[in-house]
Chain A
Amino acid sequence: MTDRDVISTHGLSKRFGERVAVEGLTLAVPAGEIVGLLGPNGAGKTTTLRMLAGIIAPTSGTATVNGLDPATAPEKVHESVGFLTESPGFYERLSAERNLAYFAAFYDGIDAKAAARRGLERMGLAGRAGDKVGAFSKGMKQRLALARVLLHEPRVLFLDEPTASLDPEAARDLRELIVSLKEDGRTILLSTHNLTEAEELCDRIAVFRTRLVALDTPDALRERQFERRMRVRLAFVTEGWLAALRAEPFVRSVEREEDGALNVRLVDPDRDRSRLVARIVEMGGQILEVREDERSLEDVYLSLIEKAAP
């Protein structure tokens, strides 16, 4: 942990009776970073967010958020963080503005009505301020929930599956809002099942299955999990060429795939890519396509989760 870390946990664990929900989580998130929690259902993502937000207490281990311990000073933590719960949850018979003003009035030193209006404007809902929340679409409710989370301008946000069950357009809008929150310098811990979203939004990804399986940038996770490969498609291939390529010092292996393309592992993909192309051309090969065979985050995730399976 460093002075820059605004969220840190050490051996954080939670049991519900015999069931272990989170086991020995050690994590540090510096200011201004978005970390995504990825994991299957029941992996402990929501439990982790709830512990950090001071909603439930850990069974063992410690956590600090903004220098405060959520287990011993939950109300202080609530004052300094925003927690977007999995379900938006509003008083549907009341207006959007009344709902926001209600939640805002729990924070000291806030003009609740002004905060509510500001929140509605920020989320593009000012025109619907007086409408009952029951008439809102899922996307609007989720935006309203995000407005609620930001009422007291917290610097740390816990977002639990923010785009779950939203249509693609609403999900995209919400992702843009999350990006703008990061640009404001907020620190965000985000749980999601959406791997594309995780890759798009997060600086680092924590793959989670009760315990932390891996924590790194998406690229680093890829590299760690899968060796980088070049995929080369030629007009035709001879056995002689294959043997010649395998003999090159910068080539670690060459495999021929079912569709005829070559799968080439290089010693240093960034440095040796051009040398590979030059050598094939020199041998008289007609290159139709050369690209790095990128593994998706889904491949990385599934591979990690499979390895972590009990």
Chain B
Amino acid sequence: MRRRVWNVVRMEWAGIAATPSSLLFLAVIPALLVGQAIFLSWIVPRFVNPAILGPGGGSADSFRLLILKQFPFFVLLIPAMIANVFATLSIVEEKVTRTLEPLLATPVRTWELLVGKIVAGAVPALLVAWASAALFTAAGFGLGWGPLLRILFTPTFFLSMFLLMPAVSLMSFVIGVIGSSRASDAKAAQNLAVVIIFPIFALIAVQVTGLVEFTPLRTLFLSLALLAADGLLLRAAVRLFARESIVTRWK
């Protein structure tokens, strides 16, 4: 059982390793996102009118801190973007290369196949996102924002990094795999991928606008709720993986 899941994981990784564009994507997208976050944190406070910070204004550092606080949510985009590419193509690619039917002729169970594909994508996506956060922090310290970053390192930050992010990463990949197994072609699968990114944008918007303050307790509840939803979505993914129509209707 575990052997079959691990077999799928290793094959997915071998596929990524054999595709230079995939490796490049894994490296470039996080680098761009982190670079953009650092650039914005550096440049915007230099030109901002202190008046927009409210009566009495504020320092550039307080504005920078406001931007830095968005980073834990901003970085959630990384697994979502990686899922956008890898998860949405995971099943469609098997259809295109005609490997799905021989695969379904082996004793692999649907859930083993899907869990293998989800884990194979979610784990590197998570590692890349954590590496990006580490890079961002290191760059921040390098730019002399150490005192601000220390303010940022709250329990919410750590819950967000180590509980919310894995939950979001899993969800991105589960949704991506569902889309991939239901899509009629690669293009349709990628169109479905917008579903993955949209909730994360919503989360960022909620945080930026201050509609909801993410306290440690709220972040914990949100993470646990998402993990529970991941379990339900995985069950749904197995049910929605219609072997018969995938095999007979795919042209």
Give A residues with C-beta under 8 Å from B.
16, 47, 50, 53-57, 75-76, 78-79, 82-83, 85, 87-94, 98, 102-103, 105-108, 112, 145, 148
Contacts and interface: CB of A to CB of B under 8 A. Distances in A.
A148 B97 contact: no
19 contacts: A53-B105, A55-B104, A55-B105, A55-B244, A56-B244, A57-B244, A78-B106, A82-B105, A85-B102, A87-B101, A88-B98, A89-B100, A89-B101, A92-B97, A93-B15, A93-B19, A94-B15, A106-B4, A107-B107
Contacts of B143: none
Is the contact region of chain B dominated by helix, strand, or loop, or is it mixed?
helix
- Shortest beta-carbon contacts, A-B, top 8: A89-B98, A106-B106, A87-B98, A83-B105, A105-B7, A93-B18, A89-B99, A78-B107
Given A50-B247, A56-B244, A75-B109, A105 B4 contact: yes
Nearest to A90: B99
Contacts, number: 74
B108 interface: yes
B4 to A, nearest CB: 6
A110 to B, nearest CB: 10
B243 interface: yes
Contact of B3 (A56, A76, A90, A105): A105
B14 A98 contact: yes
Interface in B209-251: 243-244, 247-248
Contacts of A54: 105
B113 to A, nearest CB: 10
A241 to B, nearest CB: 62
B98 A85 contact: yes
B206 interface: no
Contacts of B244: 55-57
Interface in B102-126: 102-109
B135 to A, nearest CB: 29
Contacts of A87: 98, 101
A102 B94 CA distance: 14
A75 B11 CA distance: 21
A76 B11 CA distance: 23
A184 to B, nearest CB: 20
Given A57-B244, A91-B97, A105-B7, A83 B108 contact: no
